[in-house]
A and B are shown apart, each in its own frame.
Chain A
């Protein structure tokens, strides 16, 4: 690692066994240390917004489920909240509680999935299998309530499509009781284990100031001590009625360092918190209907008449999920923009990975819980300038090329 040795570049990706999703990293390496890095997302753009702008809001609700395989309900909830604001639809009280329960169950399964992946990245596969086995209970409960393990399809414009019935509550209660035992065990296994402590303490550091400057969101921000949680800052669904506080890593360790270990702490403590939120929801659940209007023809007609723009913000398991919708008295929205949480979080890689070792790259990259396909945009970069090409630009380029080939 002496200064006389020249540094060299290593490209990793877009498809690489160490990465779960396609993204291209370029590391400037000197010896074992990452000196500088750059990354190029945009390899899995699927054009979901384009598809959405050709469909009506009732259809888009199910398209939203498929933006992210893990935090499906957060995207749907954010979109539906935006549309409900524009069309001035009032969601029934009980629907808010069902939405909260499903969103929190989703948080439990997402955080446990992440905990498993983190253990796997550290080479601790025993813990990976344990975390994923435990996660199955939350998945089974989601399947029971919504009908599907992923792509729940429960949230719709105007409420939720399925109520939680009386006979389901004992099963919810049973799963929560089982989780209370197992989370204690998981906290011990993850946070007291020497190998995890050695690998994660003071790895991938990000200070509170950096987290604020890089506009990070969700558990990544909270692990650096930045107090931000959409559930508390701008309560939606039933969160305004519930009693809970923000999870910060000093609640466990007594200090905030903003390293990978703190991110594990925040996520595992949030699993415990989610269980208490679900308990509160079940205890305070008001009776009544769960859908603003049962007839879909009326929902479609109301959305068609709506005019205006609004945004929906939801605290997804990975951080803030933001949907902007503009409706202009037509079947489909005039504009729909999705900002998944990874879009805000990914820039923090540049800070976290600098001066770290190559062996720590997988766990630091995984520590923000990246979800590339939710995030990807199409951007064209050339000659040092970047921009988005419109149809006219492409047409102009095409004409220019034809002329160039013809030589005129």
Chain B
């Protein structure tokens, strides 16, 4: 079979489960936006996504009460996604500008910043309420 060595491999593939995870549905819905709206209303079930690993860096979470306003996170943020609010001595994080490097998590002396596992955060409005963490 040295002429066509790929043939046995192809035949073997027929018996195996697909390598890809069928997300968000088994077949592509006519409109993904409509499908997600239906899923939010509980009308259709979403095929679950692949589990994220323990160290996964998703949407940032911020513990406002623990923050001491040292501004170190604004100094290490590569994307300038963190804005310091002088009147309250806290920070505001623009998630659409965040590059998910978690550098601020490492730099924070009181560890009030963390990365959650949430990754389905695509949106059309970059200034919507979920996209600004403060």
- Using CB atoms and an 8 Å cutoff, list the residues of chain A in contact with chain B: 55-56, 58-63, 65-66, 124, 126-127, 130, 133, 136, 143-148, 151, 153, 156, 161-162, 185, 188-189, 192-194, 296-297, 300
Are A62's CB and B99's CB within 8 A?
A: yes
Beyond A59-B76, A65-B101, A300-B75, list 8 extra A-B contacts (CB 8 Å): A58-B103, A59-B77, A66-B99, A127-B6, A136-B19, A162-B55, A192-B2, A296-B106
Q: Which residues of chain B in 87-133 are interfacial with respect to chain A, using CB atoms and an 8 Å cutoff?
A: 99-103, 106-107, 115
Are A143's CB and B5's CB within 8 A?
A: no
Question: Does B41 have its Cβ within 8 Å of any Cβ on chain A?
Answer: no
- Among A124, A147, A188, A296, the residue within 8 A (CB) of B57 is A147
Are A60's CB and B106's CB within 8 A?
A: no
Closest chain-B Cβ to A164's Cβ sits at a distance in Å of: 11
Are A146's CB and B5's CB within 8 A?
A: no
Q: Would you give 30 A-B contacts (Cβ < 8 Å), ordered by A?
A: A56-B75, A56-B76, A59-B76, A59-B77, A59-B78, A59-B103, A62-B101, A63-B78, A65-B101, A126-B6, A127-B6, A130-B6, A136-B19, A143-B56, A147-B56, A148-B56, A148-B57, A151-B99, A153-B101, A156-B103, A161-B103, A162-B55, A185-B9, A188-B5, A189-B5, A193-B6, A296-B103, A296-B106, A297-B107, A300-B75
Question: Known: A62-B99, A147-B102. Contact between A193 and B4, CB under 8 A?
Answer: yes
Per-position binary interface string of chain B over residues 38-80, scored 1 when its CB falls under 8 Å from any chain A CB and 0 otherwise:
0000000000000001011100000000000000100111100
Contact partners of A161 in chain B: CB under 8 A? 103, 106
* Nearest 5 pairs of A and B residues by beta carbon: A147-B55, A59-B78, A296-B107, A62-B78, A153-B101
Closest chain-B Cβ to A369's Cβ sits at a distance in Å of: 23
Contact partners of B76 in chain A: CB under 8 A? 56, 58-59, 296, 300
Question: Does B28 have its Cβ within 8 Å of any Cβ on chain A?
Answer: no
Question: Does B10 have its Cβ within 8 Å of any Cβ on chain A?
Answer: yes
The residue on B at minimum CB distance from A140 is B53
A126 to B5, CA, bound (A): 11
Closest chain-B Cβ to A318's Cβ sits at a distance in Å of: 23
Are B53's CB and A189's CB within 8 A?
A: no
Contact partners of A156 in chain B: CB under 8 A? 103
Question: Known: A148-B57, A185-B9, A193-B6. Contact between A296 and B72, CB under 8 A?
Answer: yes
Contact partners of A66 in chain B: CB under 8 A? 99
The residue on A at minimum CB distance from B3 is A194
A162 to B3, CA, bound (A): 47
A133 to B57, CA, bound (A): 24
A189 to B6, CA, bound (A): 6
A60 to B78, CA, bound (A): 7
A60 to B103, CA, bound (A): 12
Are B57's CB and A192's CB within 8 A?
A: no
A162 to B57, CA, bound (A): 13
Closest chain-A Cβ to B122's Cβ sits at a distance in Å of: 17
Contact partners of B78 in chain A: CB under 8 A? 55, 59-63
A56 to B75, CA, bound (A): 8
Are B53's CB and A144's CB within 8 A?
A: yes
A161 to B9, CA, bound (A): 40
Contact partners of B19 in chain A: CB under 8 A? 133, 136
Contact partners of B99 in chain A: CB under 8 A? 62, 66, 151
A162 to B54, CA, bound (A): 12
Contact partners of A146 in chain B: CB under 8 A? 55
Closest chain-B Cβ to A76's Cβ sits at a distance in Å of: 11
Closest chain-B Cβ to A378's Cβ sits at a distance in Å of: 22
Closest chain-B Cβ to A170's Cβ sits at a distance in Å of: 14
Closest chain-A Cβ to B13's Cβ sits at a distance in Å of: 8
Contact partners of A192 in chain B: CB under 8 A? 2, 5
A126 to B14, CA, bound (A): 12
A161 to B106, CA, bound (A): 8
A143 to B53, CA, bound (A): 7
Contact partners of B53 in chain A: CB under 8 A? 143-144, 147
A28 to B79, CA, bound (A): 44
A65 to B79, CA, bound (A): 13
A174 to B107, CA, bound (A): 33
Closest chain-A Cβ to B60's Cβ sits at a distance in Å of: 13
A147 to B117, CA, bound (A): 10
Between B6, B72, B75, B106, the greatest number of chain A beta carbons within 10 A of the residue's beta carbon is seen for B6
A189 to B12, CA, bound (A): 14
Contact partners of A147 in chain B: CB under 8 A? 53, 55-57, 102, 115
Contact partners of A297 in chain B: CB under 8 A? 72, 107
A193 to B76, CA, bound (A): 51
Are A189's CB and B103's CB within 8 A?
A: no
A384 to B107, CA, bound (A): 52
The residue on A at minimum CB distance from B106 is A161
Contact partners of A143 in chain B: CB under 8 A? 53, 56
